[in-house]
Chain A
């Protein structure tokens, strides 16, 4: 076999080997990338679940439910608004509405206060029911009887 032909076959085999190695490397890198993509998706999923839980908690947050009433109470807004309106009407020459002098801000607060009490009570009911039906000490009696024997 001529020398040139041998060299060509050698080069051909070399090229095939390189191609096979390259294909293997490509396949491996794709696999790794898929795994990291999967991990990324899983992480995103967990992160999303966590965010949903956070947002649900925020949505259920009642921290500021009394804000309006409290601010009105602090600012004495109910009374002020009423008196301001009465003054405006008087200055415009229109007759004043005596009912507008009645301050109902305190009543508005009562409603939100009762709501807060009821929500707080629901939490308390659940808390204490958990204490009563606590399963941590189910085998307590039989275990103590073994020590007593």
Chain B
């Protein structure tokens, strides 16, 4: 009997926790995600601080060695170079982790695209973690080689971050468009109900048509943006400077399409406001034809 009571209490507790969690509003969910991202971002900022200190220590150690090339100064320089490289890799890792945190906690992203982006970021984080281990155990001569490897990665990293951010923007705006399309279906059904109730719905239908058209234009811009961001390869070829310049151009073009898509959805929203006001008026108005 005691076991049954305990089980019942635990079940009730689990259900109540579940109910309170699901009762979170969209706004609260956004706030929680924002707070988590801020934490990850502050960890990255702190890592940048460590990186800058390590960089200064390395510069000082190099100057000391250039002034006096003895064994002590050489050892100090090797230690400073290793520490600097470690901090450089950790900083890049934290940067990617802050973006990953942003993606992982944001509700307003289609699940498939969220997983694809997280997997892409994880791939880079894993690679950086392997580099960190290699740097920690590398001989003084190997440190230079590791520095070259990390330098090559940095060139890739800059391009790849542009692509990832573009992918996130596309996924976010795509999510809103899909949601708004669902709204259109619901509004259309409601207009049908009003029409069936004998109401004049011509104005509502015109506004809904405009709402749909704005969404359609937003979708076109979204597709164009997506194409531009997909053209950013993130794997620089022989001419890395050209690759970076191209990535920058593609990113800016994609960003422009995203802003235009955003504007079309805002225009569509304005029509939705008109539709709601008109519906309220129709539902609230006194009967006219039947009062005579």
- Which one of B183, B187, B287 contacts A97 once the chains associate, using CB atoms below 8 Å? B287
Is A117 touching B276 in the complex (CB atoms < 8 A)? no
Instruction: Give B45's nearest chain A residue, CB to CB.
Output: A136
- Which one of B91, B169, B194 contacts A128 once the chains associate, using CB atoms below 8 Å? B169
Across the interface, which residues of B come within 8 angstroms of A7, CB to CB?
A: none
- Dominant SS among interface residues on chain A: helix
Across the interface, which residues of B come within 8 angstroms of A34, CB to CB?
A: none
**Chain A residues touching B, range:** 35 or more
Stretch at the interface among B5-13, B25-33, B122-130: B25-33
Is A107 touching B143 in the complex (CB atoms < 8 A)? no
Across the interface, which residues of A come within 8 angstroms of B173, CB to CB?
A: 121
A94 to B180, CA, bound (A): 39
Say whether A134 faces chain B, with CB atoms less than 8 Å apart: yes
Q: How far is the CB of A61 from chain B (nearest CB, A)?
A: 10
A96 to B45, CA, bound (A): 65
Across the interface, which residues of A come within 8 angstroms of B250, CB to CB?
A: none
Is A124 touching B172 in the complex (CB atoms < 8 A)? yes
A147 to B255, CA, bound (A): 36
Is B199 touching A99 in the complex (CB atoms < 8 A)? yes
A82 to B34, CA, bound (A): 39
A93 to B251, CA, bound (A): 67
Is A115 touching B251 in the complex (CB atoms < 8 A)? no
Say whether B176 faces chain A, with CB atoms less than 8 Å apart: yes
A12 to B275, CA, bound (A): 94
Across the interface, which residues of A come within 8 angstroms of B162, CB to CB?
A: 132
Is B279 touching A70 in the complex (CB atoms < 8 A)? no
Is B276 touching A102 in the complex (CB atoms < 8 A)? no
Cβ contacts A59-75/B at 8 Å (1 or 0 each): 00011011000100000
Q: How far is the CB of B272 from chain A (nearest CB, A)?
A: 5
Across the interface, which residues of B come within 8 angstroms of A134, CB to CB?
A: 95
Q: Which residues of A contact B (CB under 8 A)?
A: 62-63, 65-66, 70, 82, 94-102, 104, 106-108, 110-111, 113-118, 120-125, 127-129, 131-132, 134, 136-137, 139-141, 143-149
9 smallest beta-carbon distances between A and B, as pairs: A147-B147, A148-B147, A144-B151, A97-B287, A98-B197, A99-B197, A95-B290, A136-B48, A110-B183
- Of the A-B pairs whose beta carbons lie under 8 Å apart in the complex, a sample of 24, sorted by A's number, is A63-B27, A94-B291, A96-B287, A97-B286, A97-B290, A99-B199, A107-B279, A108-B280, A114-B179, A114-B265, A117-B176, A120-B30, A124-B168, A125-B169, A125-B258, A131-B102, A132-B165, A141-B154, A144-B85, A145-B147, A146-B58, A147-B58, A147-B81, A148-B147
